[in-house]
Amino acid sequence: MSILLGLLLVIVLFWVIGLWMRSGEDLSVYDHPVAPEAAKFFPCPDGPSAEHGAAVAEIQASQPESAGKNRKELLFFIRDFMENLAQHKSFEAEFRPVDAGGVNAEWVLAPGADPDRRVLYIHGGAFIAGSPVSHRSITSQFSSVANAAVLAIDYRLMPEHHRRMGIADCQTAYRWIQENGPAGPGPASRIFMGGDSAGGNLSLVMAAWARDENLRPVDAVVAMSPLTDSTYSAPSIKGNLNTDYMLGPLFGKLARIPPPLLAWFYLQEHRFRQSDPLVSPVRGDLSGLPPILVQVSSSEMLFDDARRYVNKARAAGTPARLQAWEGLLHVWQIFHPEVPEARQAFDEIAAFLSSVEAGRH
């Protein structure tokens, strides 16, 4: 009996500590529509475009190949799939490898881009995959709409490296880009920052970190389908599981793990509490940040991550905006230029950056 009682106490303690590791602010107070002046919705009454449908079909065709793979095999499958996204595309932009203060990176320059205008771009890939090459469809177009040189960084990935090392690479690149451009050392006239999914998470983390370090803030941040809460507790994580054709099949099983058990798993994998603002930027102080544009699909698992972040940021006085498209893939912008909705998203990014430079936040 004493052994069973001891085992029960251990299980209870394990459970309670797991709950504590994901505890924090009640973010459900931000589960309301964003104020009309800061929100823009793009409905698709007839459904997404045929080109978007083709992108969905491409994603779904790859999923049977991932079935039955062990964890290591799945990791390499995801990495190979992402690297091949831009394999058969041609770009007008120029790509220049560069050492960004010890971080591997590449400069991306659209024709005529101003080298003194710069963008720090942090790619997505669930912190385990992706590279500057995989995201050239995004970075080349970002360079064009921002009329700027884009620094796409190859930060260290998990599981070979701890999550903190990837964050450190972003911090190094953030400092470096302020005084270095594609032509060599020199201050930037404008600096923007962008990222998608995991990279959107890191870009929002960097914005708060730069404020806390009293560094020069970027002029604006663009986050595409960002993960903002690593407790995975927003309603859309489960509510949109079946409509997120990209994240659902790959990470849907995580949504079914009991929260305390997931907290322990997360601590082992990432070396962070789930609610730490360094991995859950929505759980930090969102005041005093630069203008932020968040783009997301209302059908993806991270929809409420985006909405909660924008609502909390605005409540803290930060000029944040939300743009939501109906029925689209997670990070559909990566299918530029083939998908019309991706072209539309970049048109909106261009308009946002122009409004920031004109002082209209």
Active site residues: 197, 300, 330
- Whether the bond between 48 and the residue before it is cis, its omega within 30 degrees of 0, is no
Does residue 260 have a cis peptide bond before it, meaning omega lies within 30 degrees of 0? Answer: no
Give the HSE-up count for residue 77: Cα atoms under 13 Å, Cβ half-sphere: 15
Name all contacts of 92-99 with Cβ < 8 Å and 24+ positions apart: 92/140, 93/136, 93/139, 93/140, 93/143, 93/144, 95/132, 95/136, 96/182, 98/151, 98/182
CB 134 within 8 A of CB 82: yes
Beta-carbon contacts of residue 25 (< 8 Å; ≥ 6 apart)? 283
Q: Cα 109 to chain center, whole Å?
A: 22
The count of other CB atoms within 10 Å of the CB of residue 201 is 31
